[in-house]
Chains A and B, each alone.
Chain A
Amino acid sequence: MPRIVVDVMPKPEILDPQGKAIVGALPRLGFTAFSAVRQGKRFELTVDGEVTEEILAQARNAAETLLSNPVIEDVVNVEVVEA
């Protein structure tokens, strides 16, 4: 069954405290190549049947209204993934 993947990231200008904690932990494990980490969210919306333009529009709408908060987050990607 096809899925619609929605990726949400904290806005660039907003400090991401979780990403900051992760970047602090990486070098302790020897991962020294990374100077910054930002943590986002990935949603997978399963569709029973074909993904029509209407369903994709619904997903984009849901991404903007429920899945993300436009004050602090950006929807960076909405795409269809065939199973």
Chain B
Amino acid sequence: MTELPLIGEAVAVAAHPQLAGAKIGVVTFPGTLDDRDAVRAVRLAGATPVALWHADTTLGDVDAVVIPGGFSYGDYLRAGAISRFAPLMSKIIDAANSDARLPVLGICNGFQILTESHLLPGSMIKNDHLKFMCRDQVLRVENNTTAWTGDYGVGQEITVPLKNQDGQYIADEKTLDALEAEGRVVFRYVGWNPNGSRRDIAGIANAAGNVVGLMPHPEHAVEAGFGPEDGSGTEGLGFFTSVLNKIVGDNK
């Protein structure tokens, strides 16, 4: 693993000594792109990243799991469709649904894998304008009671990179109404809907709030000088500090 920092002074926000003991798994599938960035985000937040391989048959003793972005299996068949049946995914599905409610975050392709796994409802289809989209995207936090959003305020706007081709979130009207009624829309696009997603939805949660998926990339906005130029550039770090605080809180 590359040691911090790559440039300049990296500032880890960890204050609580228990945080460094928290282990966050980052899954790599064939074709995953953003696992290294996710690992770095976990470390910058103050936790210990654990590399997980799709063919692993055990999750070990991780306290949470990040399924990062990329093009697992080349997006063949449907984005996330083949990864969903990887040996490690069945372990993640079981752990997410267990009484322990393992926190799971799916970013971009990871979100697609979570919908294919039925951990989250709905699905993603090609962007309505058919083009790959890469931009800094403003999101509004709609729910800060999930395992991954506790460090944000409701209504807070954050800017993180967005980059996808199959990013149009769709579900039937009944499912969308239920998501709204239950407060499970966690993030909405602000200013412009970059892919035609229903009701400007950028991210959602399961009913228990331990599983969150979103298309934009918080792990690319965790370090000054590398993230979006609007705002602090580090507005994605809250995902990773949120889950740490959740883990530490649960272990008290």
Query: B21: shortest Cβ distance to chain A, in Å?
Result: 39
Chain B neighbourhood of A13, CB < 8 A: 172
Cβ-defined partner of B77 (8 Å) among A14, A15, A21, A67: A67
Q: Closest residue to B122 on the A side, CB-wise?
A: A71
> Is the pair B77, A18 in contact by a Cβ cutoff of 8 Å?
no
Chain A interface (Cβ within 8 Å of chain B)?
Answer: 10, 13-15, 17-18, 21, 66-67, 69, 71-72
A21 to B122, CA, bound (A): 23
A13 to B77, CA, bound (A): 21
> Is the pair A17, B125 in contact by a Cβ cutoff of 8 Å?
yes
> Is the pair A71, B85 in contact by a Cβ cutoff of 8 Å?
no
A71 to B78, CA, bound (A): 12
Answer yes or no: B115 CB below 8 A from chain A CBs. Answer: yes
Chain A neighbourhood of B172, CB < 8 A: 13
> Is the pair B130, A17 in contact by a Cβ cutoff of 8 Å?
yes
> Is the pair B126, A14 in contact by a Cβ cutoff of 8 Å?
no
Range of interface residues on B (Cβ < 8 Å): 20 to 34
Cβ-defined partner of B128 (8 Å) among A15, A71, A72: A15
Chain A neighbourhood of B248, CB < 8 A: none
Chain B neighbourhood of A67, CB < 8 A: 77
Between A and B, 5 residue pairs with Cβ closer than 8 Å are A15-B128, A17-B125, A17-B126, A17-B130, A66-B77
Q: Closest residue to A20 on the B side, CB-wise?
A: B130
A6 to B19, CA, bound (A): 50
Task: Add 5 more A-B contacts to A18-B130, A66-B81 (CB < 8 A).
Answer: A13-B172, A14-B125, A66-B77, A69-B78, A69-B123
Interface string of B106-141 (1 = CB under 8 A from A): 000000000110000111011111100000000000
> Is the pair B116, A69 in contact by a Cβ cutoff of 8 Å?
yes
Chain A neighbourhood of B115, CB < 8 A: 71
> Is the pair A17, B127 in contact by a Cβ cutoff of 8 Å?
yes
Chain A neighbourhood of B77, CB < 8 A: 66-67
A67 to B121, CA, bound (A): 18
> Is the pair A21, B116 in contact by a Cβ cutoff of 8 Å?
no
Q: Closest residue to A21 on the B side, CB-wise?
A: B130
Answer yes or no: B171 CB below 8 A from chain A CBs. Answer: yes
Chain B neighbourhood of A17, CB < 8 A: 125-130, 168, 196
> Is the pair B130, A72 in contact by a Cβ cutoff of 8 Å?
no
Q: Closest residue to B115 on the A side, CB-wise?
A: A71
Query: A4: shortest Cβ distance to chain B, in Å?
Result: 17
A75 to B127, CA, bound (A): 23
> Is the pair A72, B123 in contact by a Cβ cutoff of 8 Å?
yes
Answer yes or no: B170 CB below 8 A from chain A CBs. Answer: yes
A11 to B85, CA, bound (A): 23
Chain A neighbourhood of B128, CB < 8 A: 15, 17
Q: Closest residue to B116 on the A side, CB-wise?
A: A69
Chain A neighbourhood of B127, CB < 8 A: 17
Query: A18: shortest Cβ distance to chain B, in Å?
Result: 6
A71 to B125, CA, bound (A): 11
Query: B109: shortest Cβ distance to chain A, in Å?
Result: 15
Shortest 4 CB-CB contacts between residues of A and residues of B: A71-B123, A17-B126, A72-B123, A17-B130
